[in-house]
Amino acid sequence: LLSTNIGQVFTMIGALLFGLPLPVTAIQILWINLVTDTAMVLPLGLEPAEDGHMKRPPRQPKDPLLSKILISRMAAVALTMAGVTLIIVAILVNQGQQIAYIQTVAFMALVSAQWMNAFNARSEYASSFSRITKINHGLTIGFVFGFILQMLVMFGPLMSVFGIVKVPIATLILTSGIMALAILSVAELHKYIARSMLASSKN
């Protein structure tokens, strides 16, 4: 999930460049990277193999660790993540919302991006929808565990520790849903292009 980490960096830099308040605090970033990220990343190592994986030609020893396709996907996801977050922040600033309110909404949106990207990362080429029937129990457990912890932060006794303020649930659902849909759409489009390029190279 390097792409979402890069996305966080782009988000913070973008906020500074456009004169917006910082979308998240240091402790919120720490939470995203240590708790949300870890809970989703570790189970990905147990992901069932893609169909046709063994039919692909072996990678050359001199090939870089990250292919051009993966690098471009990481960039696309990171830019989408940053762009959506900055748009949300700009809208809330225009509405006259307080910084703590803005950061609460942005924090939840960034966590949603992390979750969605983890499910996108289950496959390099195949659509995420094609992986629905191939259950990764570890990833499911990691998501549920991370979701429960996130709800404790957003609505429980940890609110004050993380600088969370009360925000209408409808607002959180809307902004998080927009973020998740944007990440999913960009990743699916990129995978479609990658599959087309792979098919063309075989021909």
Domain-embedded: residue 59:
no
Crossing angle for the helix pair 99-120 and 2-17, nearest 10 degrees? 150
Query: How many other β-carbons are positioned within 10 Å of the β-carbon of residue 156?
Result: 12
Decide: 77 and 186 in contact? Cβ < 8 Å: yes
Checking if the pLDDT of 50 tops 80, the result is no
121-176: pLDDT as tens digits:
888 778 888 777 777 888 889 899 999 999 999 999 889 999 999 999 999 999 99
Domain-embedded: residue 112:
yes
Measure the CA–CA gap between 32 and 118, rounded to whole angstroms: 13
111-130: pLDDT as tens digits:
999 999 988 888 877 888 87
Alpha carbon distances (Å) from 165 to 120, 159, 183: 30, 7, 26
Domain-embedded: residue 83:
yes
Q: Give the torsion sign (CA, 177, 81, 30, 168).
A: negative
Please, which pLDDT band fits residue 200 given cuts at 50, 70 and 90?
confident
Residue with tokens 């994986």: 53
**Residue ranges making up the domain that contains 132:** 2-44+66-202
Domain-embedded: residue 49:
no
Query: Considering its fold, how many domains does the chain have in total?
Result: 1
52-92: pLDDT as tens digits:
554 555 666 666 667 788 889 999 999 999 999 999 999 99
Checking if the pLDDT of 43 tops 90, the result is no
CATH number at residue 183: 1.20.1110.10
Domain-embedded: residue 193:
yes
Tokens of 148: 């429960």
